Amino acid sequence: MPFYSYADNILFSTFTMSGLLPVINEKVRQFPDISFQLINSLPPKQTDSDWIYHWLTPSGDISLSLANIDNDFLLRFPSLADFVIDGEGSYISAWLAPDTDEETLQHLLLDQVLPRVLALQGRLVLHSSAVSVDGRIIAFIGDTGQGKSTLAASFHIIGFQLLTDDGLVLKDEGGNIKAIPAYSGLRLLPESVAALFKELPQRKVMASYSYKERVSLGNNDEINPVELKALFVLGDPNLGNETKSIRVSRLSQRDACMELVRNSFQLDISNHAQVKTLFAAASSVAEQLPVFSLTYPRDFSRLPDVHDAILQQLKKPVQ
């Protein structure tokens, strides 16, 4: 089936997206928000002046590049794939390198390209995992590798529904911050899967260049926008490991705003209007929502204590 749900968007795809929930409503399918197709030819050749930005790995290698081609954008994942996005964020085409497999394509599209397309449309999209607590959402943000997915998965295992692994769209509905999960997938390192689950779940390779696995939890129900109760910014793992303590503290509105901006997906960071829109959205969320810093030791045996600290914080009155 070529129609899928991604956040609150309908995606038409010529490629089968096994990680997304199919859309069966015929009326809704007539007007997809985003269309995706594979192409067989490389995008036009770029000059040095076409490149807008390069994302670098900690070792200094280029992991992702952004270029401007006429009114379109090119996202290049070196040696893996090129994605061309129209200026409105409505159409995406992809050329794959010969060795790029289906799992890698799906990962790049779901977890890298589509969140940036939503950002191009003016949405605030966070690098965030999220779970449901008492009918509302709590979300975890932080740098890659700090444990967002592991923490969310650990909450799911003790009975709190996992909503998303790394992609949360925020919207302000008259002073009420709603959150929309991108999709309900889960990506974990093998050692985390082994430590968290008594019975190993179904899983498969996430991408050819990563050790992470895509874990199936069977929770593919459609999720509507839900009130966001609180955000937790995961602190430096080294500090938690050194002190062996769990600390939860409320961030100032300014610091919360900066963390939201820093942990948001962005496409064209040279577009001043889009950057202004991003800061305005982040400031509005920070003004209305409690945002906490969370520092804890990255020790699987301490996760029950981390759960308790978070849940106890949620019971306290908002100051």
Cα-Cα-Cα-Cα torsion 78, 79, 81, 82, nearest 10 degrees, comes to 50
Position 37 scores a pLDDT of 95
**Token duo for residue 303:** 């996760």
Average pLDDT (276-282) is: 93
Return the DSSP state at 264: B
- Among 78, 96, 123, give the residue marking a domain's end: 123
Confidence class for position 26, pLDDT limits 50, 70, 90:
low
Domains identified in the chain, total number: 2
Position 267 scores a pLDDT of 93
107 lies in the same domain as 191? no
- Among 101, 123, 145, give the residue marking a domain's end: 123
311 lies in the same domain as 250? yes
The per-residue pLDDT for range 90-149, each reduced to its tens digit, is: 999 999 999 999 999 999 999 999 999 999 999 999 999 999 998 889 999 988 888 999
Q: How far is CA 266 from the centre of its chain?
A: 11
- Contact criterion met (CB below 8 Å) for 154 and 192: no
96 lies in the same domain as 57? yes
Position 28 scores a pLDDT of 65
**Token duo for residue 309:** 């600290």
142 lies in the same domain as 91? no
- Among 100, 123, 146, give the residue marking a domain's end: 123
Residue 319 reports pLDDT greater than 80:
no
Report the candidate in 93, 149, 89 with the shortest Cα–Cα distance to residue 119.
Answer: 89
Report the candidate in 191, 182, 180, 179 with the shortest Cα–Cα distance to residue 215.
Answer: 191
Residue 58 reports pLDDT greater than 90:
no
Q: Which domain covers residue 139, as residue numbers?
A: 125-315
Strand partners, 125: 169
119 lies in the same domain as 67? yes
The per-residue pLDDT for range 172-201, each reduced to its tens digit, is: 888 789 999 998 888 999 999 999 998 888
140 lies in the same domain as 221? yes
303 lies in the same domain as 166? yes
141 lies in the same domain as 166? yes
Fill in the amino acid letter for 24: I
CATH of the domain at 263: 3.40.50.300
Strand partners, 129: 140
Helix-helix angle 303-315:148-157, to 10 degrees = 80
